[in-house]
Amino acid sequence: MYDDIGRVGFVGLGAMGSGIARRIMDAGHTVVGWNRTRSKAQDLLDAGMGWADTPREVAEQCDVVFTMLTNTAAVEVAAHGDDGLLAGLAAGKVWADLSTIAPERSVALAEEVAATGACYLDTPVSGSPATLAAGQMSVMVGGERSAYDHVEALLHAIGPKVTYIGPNGHAILTKVAINLSLVVSVTAFAEAVTLVEKAGVDRAAMVDAALKSVIASPVIGYRAPLLVDDDTVYADVELQQKDLVLAQELGRKLGVMLPACSATSEMLSAARSSDLADRDFLVSVADVYRRAAGVEIP
């Protein structure tokens, strides 16, 4: 069903997408890219990446196409229309979407792609640009097993931890659940730091102790230092709250209680009005907690 992989397409070359495309190129693959703003891809172009003028051209020129876009709406725009990916797909091609989008739309896209003769995989990733750079990104996969087998080596070029979950939609459902846990745990960490900071504990000392404790998960490991040295944005409040909204919508549809998710989403709503809303969501949430607690801000 599938021929050997020749050119690999990549649509969506933001901070995460460009890093993933670079890893695929470093693994020896020829990559053809498209991004709404071409200038953001200049480093990749200088490194030898090819360019297509539309998502459709990417799909026409490549055997496998990856997308890494902000949200469901952005993926829909890239997919549809005369210049969209669907117009360029054909039998034997694979579209692997790395984005975190609404599960029901991911399944619907799989059906639309199947009508072209191609195959769609939901392949959301877990991690950050820091995780990616360290070679620790994880990938979850939903869709036809034969398509997964075809692109598995490419996925391992993105990160060493690749897990086949099941049919279309199951990987994106798993990613929503993982991000729910991530955002709740990071928000709880901001709450805990504020509590003891109000009691007089030095913030840097608290962060140092946490990083040496049993709560030092990978996400706390790379995010907690931002409360001491705010120098990186892994995901801002708006982007991170998108994942909680996806979880809440799923919970309503399935009749599943999500009290921790709901409370955390309310906290992120408050953080969107923070003066630091453009920083990493941990920093902006911590800012809201500190102000509400009356903690003196330097």
Torsion of CA 235, 296, 229, 126, to 10 degrees: -30
> Tens digits of per-residue pLDDT, 172-204?
999 999 999 999 999 999 999 999 999 999 999
For the cut 70, the answer to whether the pLDDT of residue 241 exceeds it is yes
Same fold, 7-166 and 174-293: no
> Tens digits of per-residue pLDDT, 87-112?
999 999 999 999 999 999 999 999 99
Question: Where do the domains of the chain lie?
Answer: 7-166, 174-293
Mean pLDDT of 254-280: 96
Euclidean distance between CA atoms 128 and 277, whole angstroms? 18
In the DSSP assignment, the letter for residue 68 is -
For the cut 80, the answer to whether the pLDDT of residue 3 exceeds it is no
CATH architecture of 174-293: Orthogonal Bundle (1.10)
Euclidean distance between CA atoms 237 and 242, whole angstroms? 9
Write the class of the CATH domain 7-166.
Answer: alpha beta
pLDDT of residue 180: 97
pLDDT of residue 114: 97
pLDDT of residue 260: 98
For the cut 70, the answer to whether the pLDDT of residue 298 exceeds it is no
> Tens digits of per-residue pLDDT, 215-236?
999 999 999 999 999 999 999 9
pLDDT confidence bin for 136, thresholds 50/70/90: confident
pLDDT confidence bin for 2, thresholds 50/70/90: low
With 0-12 / 13-18 / 19 or more C-beta atoms within 10 angstroms meaning exposed / middle / buried, residue 251 is middle
Q: What is the CA radius of gyration of the chain?
A: 20
For the cut 90, the answer to whether the pLDDT of residue 268 exceeds it is yes
For the cut 90, the answer to whether the pLDDT of residue 85 exceeds it is yes
Q: Write down the mean pLDDT value for the chain.
A: 95
Percentage, residues of the chain above pLDDT 70: 99
Angle at 172 between CA 148 and CA 84, to 5 degrees: 75
For the cut 90, the answer to whether the pLDDT of residue 131 exceeds it is no
Q: Which residues are catalytic?
A: 175
Mean pLDDT of 21-46: 95
